[in-house]
Amino acid sequence: MTGERAAPAALLASALLLAGCHGLPGRPRPEDREVRPDKVEDFKVLYAENCAGCHGTEGRGSAALGLSNPVYLAIADDATLRQVITHGRRGTAMSAFARSAGGMLTDRQVEVLVTGIRGWARPPAVAGAAPPAHAGAPGDAVRGAQAYVTYCASCHGPEGKGGPKGSSIVDGSYLGLVSDQGLRTVVIAGRPEIGQPDWRNDVPGRSMTAEEVTDVVAWLASQRPATPGQPYPGR
């Protein structure tokens, strides 16, 4: 009986000793141990490390569109967010972030970002209005020139080269960094963090139609130089 009692006691003592090792001076606590980058699933950490540099703290906008913009979240569904995070935007500064497309994030981490960004939505974002679709077919640049005068010139100037309330939006360097889809998104959703109104508020009491949005984008795209970033002709 003595041996039978001693064995459990020895096992208990060993277990207590091992458990106590976690509290030894200099030994890191479990919560202090480094987490492998592909195991991070905290939205705030993932967003801060991968998105905030361009899209701003908590999606408020910075160099790029604010992802917490309520109108943007009303027109961009989860599939759109997932597509952009995964594959980026060709020809723009938005690179691919998913491993499957050459980035660093796992599919699970992409989903964490999609869910977290969607969590910023604040309905009703468009107050019963029907915004133009997030994506659209190519428009007509000639009609777009007139639509530009109606809705945009008061801020960006009659030729888009800058005005009293807005910078140039026909600058070759700018247009070389933004896709047609990016232009469309900004025309619809606006950029409230810098005072740019959405499609409803360029002209008081007169929203842009889906066709006018498409045509303005076509006009802006027509101003893009063939070789963005290269010296202008004659220089």
In this prediction the pTM is 0.81
- Distance from C-alpha of 217 to C-alpha of 231, rounded to nearest angstrom: 24
* Amino acid present at 210: A
Q: Is the pLDDT of residue 200 over 60?
A: yes
- Looking at residue 138, its pLDDT comes to 93
The 10s digit of each residue's pLDDT in 53-97 is 999 999 999 999 999 999 999 999 999 999 999 999 988 889 999
Q: For residue 224, what are the CA distances in angstroms to 159, 170, 172, 221, 232?
A: 14, 7, 6, 5, 12
Average pLDDT score over residue span 132-146: 96
Q: Is the pLDDT of residue 110 over 60?
A: yes
Average pLDDT score over residue span 15-37: 65
In contact, 96 and 86? CB cutoff 8 Å: yes
- Distance from C-alpha of 110 to C-alpha of 14, rounded to nearest angstrom: 43
For the CA atoms of 129, 218, 66, 156, what is the dihedral angle to 10 degrees?
-100
- Looking at residue 124, its pLDDT comes to 76
- Distance from C-alpha of 74 to C-alpha of 39, rounded to nearest angstrom: 30
Residue 1's pLDDT band (cuts 50, 70, 90) = very low
Q: Is the pLDDT of residue 231 over 90?
A: no
What H or E segment, with its residue span, contains residue 185?
helix 180-189
Q: Is the pLDDT of residue 188 over 60?
A: yes
Tokens 């691919």 correspond to what residue? 96
